[in-house]
């Protein structure tokens, strides 16, 4: 078996200093029972300890403050490079590091995805926000080695009812996801609930890109799908930390990558896409939203 138990009198793996039998033994036995039943279970490296949660929360304070600052200043006529400047300056001023900057060669501090851009839109002084645009600002932050990650949609000026509804339903999808983070259920249960809400409102959800574990690294296991089936994917257990960030399209779920920059993803049919992102910690009775 991949999930190994310790001797009951060994020091617990969590570093508490307690004997295993008085700390995580019962918890581990429950995980192994699920594994024996065929479930995919997280290994211990994916479970956040109290000190990790404290560090992630401190990082998230900066993450959310940065998005608040963007929300206060974003407007028609602003370039997406100006958004990037706000993100960089606010993050650094608060003692953090923009996690996006130089990540696998990414050139900017934030992703700004406008209208039919699904994700990974690269800020530019040539992209000027127009009245009626919808834009996703995806911000990731490092503080003392801990990572936080969230994104928000912004409606610029007089947005059409159709686009505004897409933005609102996408936020509802995230809220559905949060309600369906139930310990000892699967990520597939949560992802399917998100997908069904999008479908019921006439939208599609991008298959190729999803959420991810986050906290000690920018992108950790597991991959979090929002087109999954109930009872599939990894078991959600207390201590797991991951993002809920469905990318919801007004039209088809088909997308393509801009081969000029190797980053930006667009809807293939040119219809708008929306995304909200939160970072959650699985708890004993649901989840705690750490960054939003």
Average pLDDT, the chain: 97
State how far the Cα of 153 lies from the Cα of 217, in Å rounded to an integer.
24
- pLDDT for the residue numbered 1: 46
pTM for the full model? Answer: 0.96
State how far the Cα of 225 lies from the Cα of 194, in Å rounded to an integer.
10
Q: How many CB atoms lie within 10 A of CB 12?
A: 18
**Which tens digits make up the pLDDT trace of 175-224?**
999 999 999 999 999 999 999 999 999 999 999 999 999 999 999 999 99
- pLDDT for the residue numbered 112: 98
State how far the Cα of 263 lies from the Cα of 124, in Å rounded to an integer.
14
b (16+ CB within 10 A) / e for 39-55 = bebbeeebbbeeebbeb
**Which tens digits make up the pLDDT trace of 67-126?**
999 999 999 999 999 999 999 999 999 999 999 999 999 999 999 999 999 999 999 999
- pLDDT for the residue numbered 43: 93
Has residue 60 got a pLDDT over 90?
A: yes
**Which tens digits make up the pLDDT trace of 221-266?**
999 999 999 999 999 999 999 999 999 999 999 999 999 999 999 9
pLDDT confidence bin for 169, thresholds 50/70/90: very high
- pLDDT for the residue numbered 3: 80
CATH topology of domain 43-291: Creatine Amidinohydrolase (3.90.230)
Q: Which two tokens stand for residue 21?
A: 């039998």
Where do we find the tokens 């087109």? Answer: 227
């Amino acid at each position: 078996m991949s999930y190994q138990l310790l001797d009951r009198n060994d020091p617990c793996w969590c570093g508490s200093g307690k004997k295993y039998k008085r700390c995580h033994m019962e918890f581990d036995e429950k995980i192994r029972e699920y594994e024996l039943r065929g479930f995919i279970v997280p290994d211990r490296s994916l479970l956040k300890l109290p000190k990790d949660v404290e560090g992630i929360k401190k990082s998230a304070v900066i993450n959310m403050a940065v998005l608040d600052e963007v929300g206060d200043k974003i407007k028609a006529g602003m370039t997406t490079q100006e958004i990037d400047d706000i993100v960089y300056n606010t993050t650094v001023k608060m003692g953090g590091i923009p996690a996006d900057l130089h990540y696998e060669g990414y050139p900017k501090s934030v992703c700004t995805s406008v209208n039919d851009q699904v994700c990974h839109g690269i800020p530019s002084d040539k992209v000027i926000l127009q009245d009626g645009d919808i834009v996703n600002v995806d911000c990731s932050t490092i503080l003392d080695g801990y990572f936080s990650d969230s994104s928000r949609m912004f409606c610029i000026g007089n947005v059409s009812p159709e686009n505004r509804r897409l933005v609102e339903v996408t936020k509802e999808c995230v809220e559905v996801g949060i309600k369906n983070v139930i310990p000892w259920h699967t990520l597939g249960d949560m992802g399917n609930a998100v997908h069904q809400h999008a479908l019921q409102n006439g939208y599609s959800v991008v298959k190729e890109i999803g959420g991810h574990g986050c906290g000690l690294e920018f992108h950790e296991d597991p991959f979090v799908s929002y087109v999954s089936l109930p009872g599939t994917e990894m078991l959600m257990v207390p201590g797991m930390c991951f993002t809920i960030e469905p990318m919801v399209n007004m039209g088809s779920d088909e997308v393509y990558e801009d081969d000029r920059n190797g980053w930006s993803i667009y809807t293939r049919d040119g219809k708008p896409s929306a995304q909200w992102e939160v970072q959650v910690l699985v708890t004993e009775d649901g989840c705690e939203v750490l960054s939003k």
